[in-house]
Structure 1
Amino acid sequence: MSSPSPRVWLVTGASSGFGRAITEAAVAAGDTVVAAARRTEALAGLADAHPGRVEPLALDVTAPGDALTAAVDDVVARHGRLDVLVNNAGRTQVGALEETTEDELRALFDLHVMGPALLTRAALPHFRAQGSGAVVQMSSVGGQVTVPGFGVYCATKFALEGLTETVAQECPHVRFLVVEPGAFRTELFRPGAAVLSTSMPEYEDTVGPTRAFVTGGDGTQPGDPDKAAVAILRALEAEDAPLRLPLGRDAVTGIRSRLTGIADDLERWEPLSTSTDRDDA
């Protein structure tokens, strides 16, 4: 990244988990962070620990686009620039599609897709004016690998990844990093954190194990959020930075297995797939 130091970051969902860890890592690197959360009181300890370096911001990423644009514009007006936008706010939702209500489905897309899309859109004019900038999209291994009960969650992350890959092609002056963590010890699995759709007995065999993992697995996740934050900063600063950064051995293993399966299907069915071209093409 070619931006002056200290850089200015805007991190959503900064009060805990990856957002807090990324904020701490950015401050340790000498940067300034506008730390956003729905409730600024949740950011008090973070701001007190880093006076003048962490600025709390009350922000609901599901707000209308004009409100999100105003928030980004205000950050630039107060700090003179914005160097890194981290779209981290999110939550876990468990339920088969048939179990998931329309409200639950729409709410998760608002949080995981619309919010990051509108905030990214708001940042692009500033990045263009500066000639540089970076967007970190906190996706998930679920942005590539599916699990029963995580269908809607995975759908939002697949959508975010597809959008980001396209915008990266549209905006070569901006660095995009799609982060795909596996299971990390954040607060996503703490009691009451996940949205659990009302269960149906018909899905106990397929979705039941996922629901049990989410409700009983807190504290057993192998990933370390602080190490993840360091890895994210290293990737952002690398000359050959990737578009996607899986984090955790479980994420790397799962994504590699999926890609192998896709490649195998592509090769096996290539004759049928290519037989649909016109004879004069």
Structure 2
Amino acid sequence: MSTPRVWLITGTSSGFGLEMTRCALARGDKVVATLRKPAVLADLAAKHPPSQLLVIKLDVTNPQEIKDAFQQAKAAFGRVDVVFNNAGFIVAGETEAVPEDAARKMFDTNFWGAARVSQEAVRFFRDENSPQGGHLIQTSSSAVFSDWPLMGFYKASKSALEAITDTLSKEVSPAWHIKFTSVEPGAFYTEFINNANLIDQPSAYADPSYPTSSMRQMYKYPETVPLELNDTAKGVQKVFELSRLASPPPRLPLGRDAVKFMSDAAAAHAKVVEEYSSWSEDLAIKK
């Protein structure tokens, strides 16, 4: 593991993407940092030689730019070992009030963009890496296990990404040596939350005692979140450790809040199965 690995990271302008870029570089790996506005990383790029850091313009909603980014990575470093599929954003609001165009725009990045990066990553790991192999790490969210108000469409976008990742991981041949992990962060204090697109509240939900009103207060004042906020730099250190595992888990809850969300969800599902499994015992067609 002494040979530097090559990372391709999407969404490196801030938050997890930026911290993961810094972490991988500090550990001696090489990074292809992609983002829509490369000028944002000018200061970071000035501190690292082109032999270690390549900054590329990439809008993950543009399929050709995805393919170009992988080819530029190959031209610069010869291979890609880890893809940290991180680009995404939040559209938050009461489900009935979120405009379809806003939700679709989020899905174009969080799901379709991430799915296309995933497709190209698998193809690249198999067809262009020599030897074959690589690790696709998806930035998902602990929202897939929680039912926080305002997060319906965001949760749906991340749940869809996890679903397609699960299926993709079962479709590839073990001979290709491709690994998959969906990382599910809890509440991390990053620009990601601060830059969320919060849809105007409809009047029917304006009562301050309603769940969505309380959640809106947390968006406006993150310091009031009734959970411990996690440190992003420490979080990506754990993701880096994950990338070193020979057999990484398919899912990694990140943060004690995320662990609780997953644990509670698993217990709730187990309870339903225990209580209602008998309802399915006599449904089979008799032969």
Q: Please tell me the TM-score bracket, short chain as reference.
A: over 0.9
Percent sequence identity is 36
Looking at structure 1, the residues matched to 65 and 245 of structure 2 have their Cα atoms a distance apart, in angstroms, of 33
SS of equivalent residue, structure 2 residue 34: strand
Aligned residue for 2:139?
A: 138
- Aligned partners of 1:18, 1:219: CA distance in 2, in Å? 22
Deviations 1:139-184 (A, max 9, x none): 0101222212100000001001111111111123211111000001
1:101-250 to structure 2, matched below 5 A, reads 101-129=99-127, 130=129, 131-171=132-172, 172=174, 173-190=177-194, 193-204=195-206, 205-217=210-222, 222-250=229-257
TM-score, normalised via structure 1 length: 0.92
Preserved CA contact (<8 Å) 2:218 2:224: no
CA contact (8 A) 1:185 1:219 kept: no
Deviation at 1:13, TM superposition (A): 1.0
**Where does residue 55 of structure 1 map in the other structure?**
54
Scaled by the length of structure 2, what TM-score is found?
Answer: 0.90
- Structure 2 match to 1:37: 35
Q: Could you tell me whether the CA contact under 8 Å between 1:94 and 1:210 is conserved in 2?
A: no
Give, in angstroms, the shift of residue 69 of structure 1: 1.6
1:215 and 1:194 mapped to 2: Cα distance? 10
Partners of 1:146 and 1:37 in 2: how far apart? 30
Structure 1 residue identity aligned to 2:276: W
Task: Measure, in 2, the Cα distance between the counterparts of 1:259 and 1:69.
Answer: 38
- Residues of 1 paired with 2:205 and 2:224: CA distance? 26
Rounded to whole Å, the distance in 1 between the matches of 2:145 and 2:182 is 11
1:50, CA displacement in angstroms? 2.4
The residue matched to 2:192 in structure 1 has which SS? coil
- Partner of residue 20, structure 2: 22
The residue type equivalent to 1:241 in the other structure is P
Shift in CA distance, 227/108, structure 1 to aligned 2, threshold 3 Å: same
For residue 272 of structure 2, what is the aligned residue in structure 1? 265
- For 2:56, give the aligned amino acid: L
- Cα distance in 2, alignment partners of residues 121 and 4 from structure 1: 28
CA distance 1:219–1:265, shift in 2 (3 Å): closer
Q: Distance in 2 between matches of 1:111 and 1:223?
A: 24
RMSD value, Cα: 1.7
Measure, in 2, the Cα distance between the counterparts of 1:26 and 1:118. 23
- Opposite residue 164 of structure 2, the aligned amino acid is L
Q: How much has 1:219 moved relative to structure 2?
A: 9.0
Please list every run of at least 4 consecutive aligned residues from structure 1 whose deviation after the TM superposition is greater than 6 angstroms: none
Q: Which residue of 2 aligns with 1:256?
A: 263
Q: Does 1:9 find its partner at 2:14?
A: no
Kept in 1, the 8 Å contact 2:14–2:192? The answer is no
Q: What corresponds to 1:90 in structure 2?
A: 88
